[in-house]
Every structure is written in C-alpha cells, then in structure tokens.
Amino acid sequence: MSANNIYVDPLGNVKENTTGLDFEYNTKNRMGKVKTLNQRYKNSIEKINLANIDLTISSISLGISVIIFLIMLKSVTKNN
C-alpha cells in the first residue's frame, strides 16, 4: 500500500484506495478553493456586523417609541 493508494476517513480509519480516485488532484483542487473559503468567512463576518447594526437601530427606535407612548399615555391620564 503506497501513500497514493490510501484513504483516511474523517474518523481516522485507513482504507486502501479501491475506487481509483486521484487524491493528489483532489487535494490540489481543494487548495485552490481556499480563497473562496476566506471570502465566505469575510462575508459571514460582514453579515454579522450588519445584523448587529440592524439590531442596535431597531432597539433604539423601539425604546424611543415606547418612551413617547408612555409620555402620551401619562398626558392623557392626567387630563381625566
């Protein structure tokens, strides 16, 4: 069993390559996609930051709305 003819599954079991797949080609192909993975990571961080900004704006506007509502409710109950 040479190094090019083995397959190690995610659990660590070593198997002989009986399917005839070229693992060296597959690993080079995967390494070429590292830039894509890095870009996905950057995009996910950007989405999280935008979600945080959205949550902050929503919370502030809801808080202001509740304060205005309570002030209006207080002015209505004072007159009665």
Contact of 15 with 7, CB cutoff 8 Å: yes
Q: What is the dihedral of CA 41, 47, 51, 57, to 10 degrees?
A: 130
Question: How far apart are alpha carbons 37 and 46 in whole angstroms?
Answer: 14
Q: What is the pLDDT of residue 14?
A: 73
Q: pTM of the entire structure?
A: 0.51
Question: What rounded mean pLDDT belongs to the chain?
Answer: 79
Question: How far apart are alpha carbons 76 and 71 in whole angstroms?
Answer: 9
Structural tokens at position 29: 């192909």
Segments of the chain with pLDDT less than 50: 1
Q: For 34-52, write each residue's pLDDT tens digit.
A: 667 788 889 999 999 999 9
